[in-house]
């Protein structure tokens, strides 16, 4: 069930009306039922996996909170981690390991290979698994109190606006919000609706239109010239941003209408002036998750330089592996680790040469923003490519065949429209950067008249140029 479907609109409308008119206990139960109905729309057995993960972490949290012995608490934590991650590892990575094992056997000269599993990846399994585990880890580290109400906890794990593609919420934020009754709020309704419309525009008008060109190029990279591959990669950078941030905006907007405030998941990432800054702006809920539960437990930056390099490498490796069972994602993660290291070394050189003040100049800042964007776009090649061989081919062809004809796709008009939409996005995000327009419920400097015209433009654009979307990119993760 997609946000841009009539099924979702009907479900959300009914849920909202009943929720605002129900008692507190009945309202939370209603949200839980609606969340499972939303998820079961894909397949009912997917909901069984989510229920199992929910129950594991619910009871583990209680046992951890009750246990006084450190070893007992550790055992319950390990139990929750292993049993929660097993379904994720099985559905997402089983065939990846089989493929690599078969490759090793083939190289070794064996004619016997293992058969692949017939698996369908449950939608959003990475998201609800990490969200449930964050609660158990927080209980273990004493960052949050144990939740004994199974309905509240189940709603926290399954909350339908952010269930299948985030943001990955923490119990300290979202779970706490289920402990009070929300009433209809006109301001929340307007805030949520505006953010939903902007997210929908980014998805069905920009991302889905860019996808047509990008998919056509990346499916057959061997027949295209360097300039065509460069433009396709730039288009993908904006496609994946509009696709994923569009979902996050719609999720946050939907929750806001119901009276809940989800965490900000994107903060103008292509305005980042460093790789570390980029990861503070892109998929913030996942970046902070890895920071809290992987990076800092390893020692974070409070260790010697070599161990810090190790910690960064581990985090980006895990991040790449989280995104998919393919070597392309692992290389993508490693590239970001390399960019991180290169940036760190560059800052050290500037300090040793007593040129650190140059970082405060406008020219240097613009240079860094452009450099980071180019680096991120290069890494997107590996993220988007169907295989490592395709990624290597594209990388090698970026600066070749420049005398070959440029490919505009199936329609020159569609290409020009896509380019214009990217320009509209950039102009609007510049206005957000300077706080002229609203960003995540912030109060804009512009008047309500200009905002009214802008959202009329978005609605008009959705009606006229919106495409029918089948899914979001991050549903596969």
In a domain, 229, yes or no: yes
Overall average pLDDT of the 324-335 stretch: 91
Which of 123, 130, 140, 138 has the alpha carbon at shortest distance from 169?
130
In the DSSP assignment, the letter for residue 473 is G
Last residue of a domain, one of 184, 206, 233: 184
Query: How far is the CA of 27 from the CAs of 151, 250, 368, in angstroms?
Result: 11, 22, 49
Q: For residue 225, is it within any domain?
A: yes
470 and 357 co-located in one domain = yes
Q: Are 375 and 339 in contact (CB under 8 A)?
A: yes
pLDDT given at position 119: 82
Which domain does 451 fall in, by range? 188-476
Using pLDDT thresholds of 50, 70 and 90, give the confidence band for residue 469: low
For the segment 263-314, what is each residue's pLDDT rounded down to a tens digit?
A: 999 999 999 999 999 999 999 999 999 999 999 999 988 888 889 899 999 9
pLDDT in tens, 118-145: 888 888 899 999 999 999 999 999 999 9
Which candidate, 49, 58, 59, places its Cα nearest to that of 87?
A: 49
| Residue pLDDT, tens place only, 84-107 | 999 999 998 888 888 888 888 888
Residue 198, classified by CB atoms within 10 Å of its CB into exposed (0-12), middle (13-18) or buried (19+), is buried
Q: Are residues 38 and 86 in the same domain?
A: yes
Q: Which of 145, 168, 184 is the last residue before a domain boundary?
A: 184
Do 341 and 458 sit in the same domain of this protein?
A: yes
Q: How confident is the model at residue 147 (pLDDT cuts 50, 70, 90)?
A: very high
Higher pLDDT, 57 or 354: 57
Q: Which residues are CB-neighbours of 465 under 8 A, at least 6 positions away?
A: 205, 209, 417, 421
- Give the residue-averaged pLDDT of 58-66: 95
Q: What's the pLDDT score for residue 437?
A: 83
Asked whether residue 145 is assigned to any structural domain, the reply reads yes
Q: Does pLDDT of 315 surpass 90?
A: yes
User: At residue 393, does pLDDT exceed 80?
Assistant: yes
Considering the domain boundaries, does residue 57 fall inside one? Answer: yes
Q: Which of 139, 113, 119 is nearest to 57 (CA)?
A: 139
CB 393 within 8 A of CB 222: yes
Q: pLDDT class for 248, splitting at 50, 70, 90?
A: very high
1 assigned to some structural domain: no
Do 73 and 86 fall within a single domain?
yes
Q: Is the pLDDT of residue 48 over 80?
A: yes
Q: Give residues with Cβ within 8 angstroms of 108, minimum separation 6.
A: none
The answer to whether residues 25 and 61 belong to one domain is yes
Which is more confident, 97 or 109? 97
Band of the pLDDT at 477, cuts 50, 70, 90? low
From the CA atom positions of the chain, what is the Rg in Å?
23
Specify whether 416 is located in the same domain as 317. yes
For this structure, is 323 an active site residue? yes
Which one of 70, 224, 283, 323 is the catalytic residue? 323
Q: Are residues 163 and 272 in the same domain?
A: no
The reported pLDDT for the residue numbered 300 is 85
Summarize the confidence of residues 353-364 as an average pLDDT.
78
* pLDDT for residue 210 is more than 90: yes
Q: Is 227 found in the same domain as 178? A: no
Burial of 353 (0-12, 13-18, 19+ CB in 10 A): exposed
pLDDT exceeds cutoff 90 at 186: yes
Q: Locate tokens 């990279």: which residue? A: 221
CB neighbours of residue 71 within 10 Å: 8
Instruction: Write down the pLDDT at residue 285.
Output: 94
Query: Which two structure tokens, joined as six digits, stand for 130?
Result: 């990490």
Residue at 415 is within a domain = yes
Number of structural domains the chain divides into: 2
Query: Across all residues in the chain, what is the average pLDDT?
Result: 90
Please identify, among 169, 184, 199, the residue that sits at the C-terminal boundary of a domain. 184
Q: Are residues 180 and 235 in the same domain?
A: no
Dist CA 451 CA 429 (whole Å): 14
If asked whether residues 174 and 293 sit together in one domain, one would say no
Per-residue confidence (pLDDT) for residue 411, from 0 to 100? 85
DSSP assignment of 172-207: IIIIHHTTS-----HHHHHHHHHHHHHHHIIIIIII
What average pLDDT does range 341-346 have in this prediction?
86
For 155-182, b/e burial (b = at least 16 CB within 10 A) is bbbbbbbbbbbbbbbbbeebbebbeeeb
State the pLDDT confidence band at 475, using cuts at 50, 70 and 90.
Answer: low
pLDDT at residue 427, rounded to an integer:
93
DSSP category for residue 162: G
Q: Are residues 405 and 353 in the same domain?
A: yes
Same domain membership, residue 17 and residue 75 = yes
CA–CA separation, 249 and 262 (whole Å): 10
Residue 154 has pLDDT above 80, yes or no: yes
């Amino acid at each position: 069930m997609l946000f841009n479907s009539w099924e979702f609109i009907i479900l959300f409308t009914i849920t909202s009306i009943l929720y605002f008119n129900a008692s507190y206990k009945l309202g939370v139960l209603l949200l839980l039922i609606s969340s499972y109905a939303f998820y079961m729309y894909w397949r009912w057995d997917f909901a069984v996996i989510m229920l199992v993960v929910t129950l594991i972490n619910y009871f583990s949290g209680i046992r951890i909170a009750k246990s006084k012995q450190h070893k007992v608490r550790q055992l319950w934590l390990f139990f929750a981690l292993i049993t929660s991650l097993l379904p994720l590892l099985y559905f997402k990575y089983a065939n990846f390991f089989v493929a690599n094992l078969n490759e090793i056997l083939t190289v070794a000269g064996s004619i016997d290979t293992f058969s692949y599993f017939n698996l369908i990846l449950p939608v959003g399994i990475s998201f609800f698994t990490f969200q449930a585990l964050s609660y158990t880890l927080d209980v273990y580290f004493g960052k949050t109190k144990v939740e004994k109400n199974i309905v509240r906890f189940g709603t926290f794990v399954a909350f339908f606006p952010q269930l299948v593609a985030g943001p990955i919420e923490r119990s300290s934020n979202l779970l706490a919000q289920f402990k009070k009754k929300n009433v209809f709020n006109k301001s929340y309704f307007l805030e949520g609706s505006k953010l939903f419309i902007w997210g929908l525009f980014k998805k069905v008008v920009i991302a889905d239109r860019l996808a047509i060109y990008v998919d056509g190029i990346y499916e057959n990279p061997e027949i295209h010239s360097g300039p065509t591959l460069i433009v396709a990669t730039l288009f993908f950078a904006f496609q994946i941003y509009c696709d994923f941030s569009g979902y996050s905006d719609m999720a946050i907007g939907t929750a806001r209408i119901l009276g809940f405030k989800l965490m900000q998941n994107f903060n103008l990432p292509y305005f980042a002036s460093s790789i570390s800054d980029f990861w503070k702006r892109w998929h913030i809920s996942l970046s902070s998750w890895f920071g809290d539960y992987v990076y800092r437990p390893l020692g974070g930056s409070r260790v010697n330089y070599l161990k810090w390099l190790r910690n960064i490498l581990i985090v980006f490796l895990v991040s790449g592996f989280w995104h998919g069972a393919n070597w392309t994602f692992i290389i993508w993660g490693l590239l970001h680790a390399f960019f991180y290291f290169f940036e760190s070394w560059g800052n050290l050189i500037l300090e040793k040469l007593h040129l650190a003040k140059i970082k405060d100049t406008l020219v240097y800042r613009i240079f860094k923003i452009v450099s980071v964007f180019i680096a991120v776009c290069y890494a997107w090649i590996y993220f988007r490519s169907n295989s490592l061989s395709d990624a290597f081919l594209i990388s090698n062809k970026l600066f070749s065949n420049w005398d070959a004809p440029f490919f505009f796709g199936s329609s020159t008009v569609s290409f020009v429209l896509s380019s214009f939409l990217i320009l509209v996005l950039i102009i609007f995000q510049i206005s957000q950067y300077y706080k002229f327009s609203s960003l995540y419920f912030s109060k804009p400097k512009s008047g309500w008249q200009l905002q009214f015209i802008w959202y009329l433009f978005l609605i008009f654009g959705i009606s006229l140029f919106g495409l029918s979307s089948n899914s979001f990119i991050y549903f596969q993760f």
